[in-house]
Amino acid sequence: MTNEGPILLFDGVCNLCSGSVQFVLKRNRKGNVRFASLQSDFGKETLKKSNLPHTYLNSLVLIENGKTFVKSDAALRLAKHLDGIWKMGSMFLIIPKFIRNPIYDWIARNRYTWFGKKETCWIPEQKWNDRFLDHIFKNSSANP
């Protein structure tokens, strides 16, 4: 894993998760947050390095400064990389995990029912390709 900025792993077939990525893309003007779907080769390899099962789809996963964050920690830590008032979302980290994570888990359990699911992973617009590591990973592993 590199130290070039935070990496957000997300469920690529989940409409809520894909929508969240699009939200971040538009509100992270620095362009320092990079992405990969949990289902991608990069995502699976990163999960393995983070001691999470390669089938882990229950949460966003944020890799920041070599540390792995999941569930509400991942979502709220991600907020500090957003522009404007959205940055203040990270203040909710003061709420204990035992309160935050059950709410996160409830939403995660119901996300496909409430927001739907795609048959295949969401594909970003070409202008965002440099922010998606599964695309870069695939190209670099094909050309050693």
Identify the pLDDT of residue 122. 75
Q: Is 133 exposed, middle or buried (CB count within 10 Å of its CB: 0-12, 13-18, 19+)?
A: buried
The owner of tokens 């999960």 is: 47
On the CB side of 59, how many CA atoms lie within 13 Å of its CA? 20
Does the pLDDT at position 40 exceed 50? Answer: yes
* All structural domains of the chain with their residue ranges: 7-139
pLDDT tens per residue across span 84-127: 999 999 999 999 999 999 999 999 999 999 999 988 777 778 88
Identify the pLDDT of residue 129. 86
pLDDT tens per residue across span 90-100: 999 999 999 99
Identify the pLDDT of residue 54. 81
Identify the pLDDT of residue 28. 96
Q: Average pLDDT over the chain, rounded to whole?
A: 89
